[in-house]
Amino acid sequence: MWDVAIAGAGISGLTCALALQEAGYRVIVVDKSKGVGGRAATRRLEHTWVDHGAPTLSRNLEDEAQYGTYVTTLLEKSLIQPWPAAQIYRAAVHQGRWHLDKCEASGTIQDSGTIQDYAAPAGMTAIAKALTDNLDICRAQRVTKVQLDSQQSYWQIATEATAKDLPITLRARALVLAMPAPQALDLCTPLLEAGIDPSAIAALKNVRFDPCITTMAGYRSGENPFWSELCCQDDPIIQRILCDRHKRPIPEVEHGETWFVIHSTPVFAAQHFHESDLTALGQQILEHLGQVYRPWMAQPFAFQVHRWRYAIASGGYPGDPLSANMSLPLWICGDWCTGNKIQDAFEVGLDVAQRIHHQLSV
Ligand SMILES: Cc1cc2nc3c(=O)[nH]c(=O)nc-3n(C[C@H](O)[C@H](O)[C@H](O)COP(=O)(O)OP(=O)(O)OC[C@H]3O[C@@H](n4cnc5c(N)ncnc54)[C@H](O)[C@@H]3O)c2cc1C
């Protein structure tokens, strides 16, 4: 029997798990993916790697709270480095072509001079791995059902294996679902008969998520751009482009490949999300990029496409983690409780850990 089971090894689930483990609880984390990090995601390629989820993380430099300490620790371990605002540009559409401006000048991206962005040279999953110290993690296990046992003395968590392993069943005194609200809703709705607080279900239904189609494109020729990041205004297809080469240590990029990560707009992603031919979808995005920006960008030597069904929480934030208000602790959380950034995920994970500590220690 575990003290706490946590479904979801993203930043919120791992932060919660580590805090509870440090407080002396026996904690198990379960994730449907083979790796950790959730949307803080990095994909390995033949010669390098790219961040296909969150490209950077931000910190308010005046923030002395625990998130500030976490970021400082990542800096001390060289897991992150500043991502200079001076290299972030804005692309505005004019007569069907992009025109680049410095974001700083427009003030649209950094609304406060004290916000600093950071990139992770080893990939964004490294910032999640930094939270996994000695944690017990079951990977490639999708939680399919959660229920109280008949005596209401523990939570029973059933999974299906997403790789070769056998499914597992876990028992725990407290349960955390640390995942996007719609995925938590699927697991919580069957608990209505068992008495889950209907207001928690209503709050989960209220949270909105935008999808994103992300294209990772590699080039062996073409220019190495002066910008690290382009934020696209008014473009119907592309919202943001990152030049991942600017994040990596020099020896890692000497093979001469430059990879760009191209995130679509939510509207384009919603319109095309269910298209089965991902290659055609990627080509459509790249051809558009070639037309509006640089013709060579339509012809990478290789590209891959990833679909994020729940990329960015876009509204209906409840403001706090959700409690099931049942006989044993069940908390439902993720960045979407308070916003849509890594900082939100981190802070809500800590918040849930404190609430569970309070419940289990009385
Ligand atoms: C394209 C994109 C761009 C972004 N840009 C930024 C940015 O610039 N700055 C920033 O701060 N943030 C950004 N984000 C958001 C950031 O990634 C999230 O805020 C943060 O990673 C959320 O962490 P989380 O733990 O709440 O959720 P997640 O990272 O989604 O973790 C949830 C975990 O639950 C697992 N899971 C789901 N269902 C189950 C199940 N049934 N059983 C087991 N496991 C399950 C998933 O596999 C996942 O690992 C971006 C995200 C995307 C996708």
Which CATH number does the domain housing residue 188 bear? 3.50.50.60
Cα–Cα dist 215/58, whole Å: 23
Domain check: are 259 and 221 in the same one? yes
Domain check: are 232 and 94 in the same one? yes
Residues 6+ apart with CB under 8 A from 48: 244, 248, 252, 253, 255, 257, 259
Both tokens of 3, joined, read 């003290």
Domain check: are 178 and 227 in the same one? no
* pLDDT for res 113: 57
Specify the ligand 1 atom closest to the Cα of 14. 25
Ligand 1 center–CA 298 separation, angstroms: 29
User: What are the two backbone dihedrals, phi and then psi, of residue 156, each rounded to the nearest 5 degrees?
Assistant: -110, 125
Specify the ligand 1 atom closest to the Cα of 30. 43
Domain check: are 186 and 251 in the same one? no
Examine residue 127 and state whether it is found in any structural domain, yes or no: no
Domain check: are 299 and 182 in the same one? no
Examine residue 216 and state whether it is found in any structural domain, yes or no: yes
Domain check: are 237 and 285 in the same one? yes
Domain check: are 230 and 93 in the same one? yes
pLDDT, the chain, mean: 93
Examine residue 8 and state whether it is found in any structural domain, yes or no: yes
- Interval 315-342 mean pLDDT: 97
Examine residue 62 and state whether it is found in any structural domain, yes or no: no
Using CA atoms of 63, 104, 253, 40 in order, give the dihedral in degrees to the nearest 10.
40
Residue 119 · residue 83 · CB < 8 Å: yes
C-beta atoms surrounding 347 within 10 Å:
22
The model's pTM: 0.95
Q: What DSSP designation does 120 have? A: -
142 CB within 6 A, ligand 1 = yes
Examine residue 68 and state whether it is found in any structural domain, yes or no: no
Lowest-confidence pick of 15-24, 79-88, 99-108, 282-291: 99-108
Examine residue 44 and state whether it is found in any structural domain, yes or no: no
CATH of the domain at 104: 3.90.660.10
177-198 exposure pattern, b = at least 16 Cβ within 10 A, e = fewer? bbbbbebbbebbeebeeeebbe
Examine residue 24 and state whether it is found in any structural domain, yes or no: yes
Residue 81 Cα distances to 21, 57, 75, 321, 360, angstroms: 28, 10, 6, 30, 38
Range of the domain at 236: 83-117+209-314
* pLDDT for res 251: 53
Which residue's CA is the closest to the ligand 1 atom numbered 6? 54
